[in-house]
Amino acid sequence: MLGHARTDPAGGPDIAAFDTVAPPPGPGPDRDPGADWQAWVPDLAVAAVVAFLGLFEAATAWVMPISRVELAFVAIGTAAAVGLSRRLPAAALGLVWAVCGVQLVFGIDLMLVQVTIAAVAFGTARWGSTATVWLSALSIPVAAMIVVVIANARGLGGLADLAGNASLVESLRDLSMTWQVTGVLVGTAALGAPWLAGLALRYGDRARRSRVSQQAAEEDTARAVRETGQAREIARLREEQARLANDVHDVVGHSLAVILAQAESAQYLDDPQALKETMAKIATSARTSLRDVRQVLTDTKQPPAQPAGLETLVDGVRASGHEVVSTEIGVPRPMPPELEVVAFRVLQEMLTNAIKHGRRDVPVHVERHWEGELRIEVRNVVAESPFAAPAGTVAGGGAGLEGMRRRLESVGGRLDVRRRDEDGRTTFTATAWVPVRAGGA
């Protein structure tokens, strides 16, 4: 079990009760090997100091030469464990157990330098994996008991010298019956204190990283809210722009078509009075168009059409010189303002197309059917053109048709347009279905 943080397949830390603090990553194709060695410099320096103190203690101990070799082994092993405690805490814990096991098996005396094992206890709690943390916690009382066993068999050695009066410490050991329990408690406290300190720093680091992650998540959420608001505002502006374009197209297109038809018919009039009336109608159509355009550009809401608006449109086309046969079937029903506006604009665009593309010598048929919903049908004979689309199709389907379709679909209606061959003539029929009540009413 390595002493650094592992990750699961989803990328999260492989921990349960504890949050592992990962050391710097190991060598990789994009990393400078010199930087990895530099990261180990503090650990190597600490290990060198512990090794020097341990070897000095072994060299000055009053023991046999062979025992000095054994003590040197303990010193080097302890120094290596201390050096690994930050970067590889699991390996440091295993090395401590190996050294203590050799001491126990071969009866090697305790050494004063082994006090530095407290650094290993700190490192395992601070940087170890979850398993390492739990193993180190269980190891502390076990290690204290091993120390007591070694001391009971071989004496306190350097630890007695540390107390300042070796003979007194040894006498207490021989006379007291509970010194073993006391030793276990003292050893557990000596190792437990740094272990708890490491665990506290571990939790503090986890809390800090949690706050940073929470702050980042809050910033991401705020950014997402801002972007969503901006996207909605852009969509609203585009929708408003499209609505405005459709309104202007319908108003201007219809008015110009009527004015053009009136102007074309005026050139064939010989009666001054009739010509004067026609010019007056052109002026009236222009003023009405200008008023409607101003209203569309200045109002943020669509102006509701008048109850007689549909018939007014038919009368306006008649005034331009086109014959219109208007039929209304069923009993007209009141409609909400928004639906009335849709019906008005759709019929306006249908009549505009009939004026622009229809023959003047054939009447335009307008039918309104009140059958649960309002069905508006405009049929006219198409003026022959070498560029006309084949019968049964609708060429292009320009902005006018697309605008009508969008208007109707926005309120739950629909549009059907088609060309047909009837009695040797090509007719264009546009049919719109407009709900009488708004959705949800």
Domains of the chain and any CATH numbers = 33-222 (no CATH), 308-441 (3.30.565.10)
- pTM for this model (two decimals): 0.45
The whole-number pLDDT of residue 4 equals: 39
What are the tokens at 29? 């194709």
- The whole-number pLDDT of residue 340 equals 87
The owner of tokens 């009136």 is 262
Q: What is the dihedral of CA 163, 167, 169, 173, to 10 degrees?
A: 160
Query: For 216-352, where are the E strands, in sequence order?
Result: 324-329
Structure tokens at 146: 């091993």
Look up residue 332 and give its two tokens.
């007209």
Distance in angstroms between the alpha carbons of the first and the last residue of the chain: 68
The pLDDT value given to residue 25: 45
Pairing assessment for the beta strands 373-381 and 324-329 based on DSSP bridges: unpaired
User: 185: which 2 tokens?
Assistant: 């408690």
pLDDT at 353: 85
Task: Write down the pLDDT at residue 237.
Answer: 76
pLDDT score at 360: 81
Residues lower than pLDDT 70 in the chain? 1-35, 147-187, 249-251, 253-255, 261-262, 264-269, 285, 289, 295-297, 299-308, 384-399, 438-441
What is the per-residue pLDDT for 174? 54
Question: Is the C-alpha dihedral spanning 149, 155, 161, 166 positive or negative?
Answer: positive
Q: Quick count: other Cβ atoms within 10 Å of Cβ 221?
A: 10
**In terms of Cα–Cα distance, which of 39, 42, 9, 44 is closest to 25?**
39
- Tell me, what's the pLDDT at 52? 94
Q: Supply the pLDDT for residue 306.
A: 47
C-alpha distances out from residue 264 to 210, 282, 319, 350, 360, Å:
79, 11, 12, 20, 11
Place of tokens 């350097």: 158
Adjacent-strand bridge partners of 419: 428
* DSSP H helix total and E strand total for the chain: 12, 5
User: Can you give the pLDDT at residue 385?
Assistant: 53
